[in-house]
Amino acid sequence: MPALEGSLLDPAFQKKLEGLSLAARRPFAGQMKGEKRSTKRGTSIEFADYREYTPGDDLRYVDWNTAARLGKMFLKMFVEEEDLFLALLIDSSKSMDFGDPVKLQFAVRVAAALGYIGLSNYDRVSVQPFAASAGAPMPTGRGKTSVFPFLRYLEKIKADGETNISTSLRRFAATARSRGLAVVISDLMDPQWQEGLKPLISRGFQVAVVHVLSEDELEPKLTGDLRIIDSETGHQREMSVNAQLLARYQQTLGQFCSEVEGFCNRYGIDYVRVSTATPFEDLVLRILRKEGLVR
């Protein structure tokens, strides 16, 4: 499929993505035929079980060899393949408008790759940006005809407003009509981030967190007397940055990342922490596969 002009995904990378699929750890009930195992029994080529024939059943699925041997008719049952629902929940708050490359740009490219994999496998894909509140979602798309509208939608997402992960994700969980895989792509710069992830779990989603941080956050090079300005609130603070302060910062950041990873492990959430300096194709083709988010 040709890429859009200025597309987030070039044609060569799209070809690589078409060989992947999203990894669901358990079956979800889908709406249409797709590539994922359903909770239903249907008529795909993968055998699942037998059940005894009852009048009105389709005779095409009778195992006549078993019937001749046992004197009873049994129906072959198969695992039905259905589509997976993928919800891409992208933090579009002002704190994501930071770094080189900008965290939001990196997050959007991650979403583009995951969504393209889903659409290529006829999964249903939806996008929900969020900041102080949930933005207008992209209508759920399915199949390759949805790729262009999907990429156009992603390219229009802008960083604005304060972060409110708790309210935004709770509202999404309460209003979602389908369960499936929910991927939260965020820097998690919100004290209430845990309260945003819990409703997704309670609603029955398989949850994954892609924790995006810039190299300037992971390894700050600031020194001297500085005025630090909060990008979301505008709050300012004067401080002198020296080696001791940077060491304390690194310790605090490490504790924060460990807290997030520990929380995700406890609640069965897939967790991937990534720097925006990570080569993008390496992230998708190696790291996300290693972490089990795609296969």
Instruction: Flag whether 252 is in a domain.
Output: yes
- Six-digit token string for 114: 């995951």
- Six-digit token string for 84: 């997976």
Residues 174 and 228 in one domain: yes
Instruction: Flag whether 174 is in a domain.
Output: yes
Kindly report the three-state secondary structure assignment for every residue of 227-248: EEECCCCCCEEEEEECHHHHHH
Residue 116 CA to its chain's centroid (Å): 12
Q: What is the pLDDT of residue 222?
A: 80
Instruction: Flag whether 55 is in a domain.
Output: yes
Residues 95 and 166 in one domain: yes
Confidence of residue 39 (pLDDT cuts 50, 70, 90): very low
Residues 262 and 223 in one domain: yes
Q: Which segments of 101-183 does DSSP mark as H helices, in order? A: 103-120, 147-155, 165-175
- Six-digit token string for 144: 């390759």
Give the integer Cα–Cα distance in Å for 74 and 13. Answer: 47
DSSP for residue 294: B
Q: Which segments of 184-242 does DSSP mark as H helices, in order? A: 193-202, 215-218
Residue 288 has pLDDT above 70, yes or no: yes
| Residue 230 CB-half CA count within 13 A | 12
Residues 54 and 107 in one domain: no
Mean pLDDT of all residues in 165-194:
94
Give the integer Cα–Cα distance in Å for 75 and 61. Answer: 5
pTM of the model: 0.80
Confidence of residue 80 (pLDDT cuts 50, 70, 90): very low
Residues 202 and 89 in one domain: yes
Which structural domain range is residue 150 located in? 11-24+83-290
